[in-house]
Amino acid sequence: MSHVFPRHCHAQLPTAVGGEGIWLIDSEGRRYLDGSGGAAVSCLGHGDAEVTEAIKAQLDKLAFAHTGFLTSEPAEALADLLIAHAPGELDRVYFVSGGSEATEAAIKLARQYWVEKGQPERSRLIARRQSYHGNTIGALSAGGNEWRRQQFGPLLLDVSHIDPCYEYRDRQEGETPEEYGLRAAEALREEIERVGPETVMAFMAEPVVGATAGALAPAPGYFKRIREICDEYGILLILDEVMCGMGRTGTLFACEQDDVAPDILCIAKGLGAGYQPIGAMLCSAGIYDAIAKGSGFFQHGHTYIGHPVATAAGLAVLRAILDRNLLPQVQSRGATLQKALESRFGQHPNVGDIRGRGLFRGIELVADRGTKEPFDPSRKIAARLKKAAFAHGLICYPMSGTIDGRRGDHVLLAPPFIISDEEITLLVDRLDAAMQEVL
């Protein structure tokens, strides 16, 4: 009997023993095509020799030095390289061990910023209903996924949730995507006015929504208007690129494609690419300076922040993305994947929408393509599809999301950037086989 506490208590999980490129191998020798990079993590695939070597070299040199006493070479080099490629005024990098830690740190930094600026009444965060920002209490408070939140109610922070930008469901007849984008962004202004602008510290959103929506990109102009509204009211903009950042959408940061820069940016998953647990929160010089010139101390921290081996891995991953020129490859393979999905499932009666950017693609599954009626939750479409795909040797990421009682199912695909055209065909074949079994 296993003594590991798994998330699904009754799951009988195979044991992973190896990884090669886009493949994972279990102890029985079965091979799984990693069509979602786990949960959009393994952007370089498995067994990358350069990243592995960089980790080994760092271990030979120095495994750990507590950041309360010392900084380290890889942490400094990774921060420099991230800032050299970061949008806008982002100037400082706070390293953590994963996505929830990054968003948690972002929420606390926003709060401390306003306290230090002499506006302690700014304590409210505004976020969106269709979002996931992590599983620790602060991050869970920010997220809008009711299924994940419901039993933790009394512990959650006071957060306002506004409607997401969800063109497939909410754009009205006769409205252009641009008009819809501007209208959707106005939900933020309305909420700020409703709760009182002087009480709001920040707005937080995923540029391309991952786990709760299946690669849902914003309508054109949405985030530009969001940025304008934040500026108008002096509210910080926090973008959560834990899933969609690090090249996943075809640019290093997804927000580049929306021509906006946040005050605080969260990354994780693809930063360590599965080789080490690492995340980061990037903030503007203005925010950093407010703390530096105020108390001089960010009231936050974990033992393993800025871990030398994790930052060495992150540095090797970022160098690989840049030096191997993987971003254009993500764009072209992403277009190939989108085309393949459209030609296979474009007319499927249960496929409502096929969407995304780069190698971050989603399929929204519906009971009725014409009315967009979601499946009844009792059919457990997402869970069954995950199981069926796995049996066909495909790892993909089907999820159900709950928004205001509306329930939807989708499949998220986020294969490693090194996936070939032939492997894309194989991925789609296996997904097709699983969908035929379940739908």
Which residues sit at the interface with ligand PLP, rule CB under 6 A? 39, 98-100, 103, 132-134, 206, 210-211, 240, 242-243, 268
Residue type, 146: E
**DSSP code for 398:** E
Q: How many CB atoms lie within 10 A of CB 198?
A: 12
Q: How far is CA 212 from CA 129, 188, 256, 375, 407, in A?
A: 9, 20, 22, 15, 10
- Rank residues 131 and 329 by Cβ distance to ligand PLP and give the closer one: 131
Residue 183 phi/psi, 5-degree rounding, is -65, -45
Q: Cβ 374 to ligand PLP, closest distance in Å?
A: 21
- Rank residues 21 and 250 by Cβ distance to ligand PLP and give the closer one: 250
Please name the helix (run of DSSP H) or strand (run of DSSP E) that holds residue 185, with its range, or none: helix 177-195
Q: Cβ 318 to ligand PLP, closest distance in Å?
A: 17
Residue 114 buriedness (CB in 10 A; 0-12 / 13-18 / 19+): buried
- Rank residues 116 and 241 by Cβ distance to ligand PLP and give the closer one: 241
User: SS3 of 145, please?
Assistant: coil
Q: Cβ 323 to ligand PLP, closest distance in Å?
A: 25
Q: Cβ 98 to ligand PLP, closest distance in Å?
A: 3
- Rank residues 138 and 334 by Cβ distance to ligand PLP and give the closer one: 138
Q: Cβ 136 to ligand PLP, closest distance in Å?
A: 8
Nearest residue to 185 via CA among 218, 144, 209, 234: 218
- Closest residue (Cβ) to ligand PLP? 99
∠ at Cα 252 (343, 332), nearest 5°? 30
- Rank residues 38 and 294 by Cβ distance to ligand PLP and give the closer one: 38
Residue 334 near residue 357 (C-beta atoms within 8 A): yes
What tokens appear for 169 in the block?
């469901």
- Rank residues 152 and 297 by Cβ distance to ligand PLP and give the closer one: 152
Q: Cβ 259 to ligand PLP, closest distance in Å?
A: 21
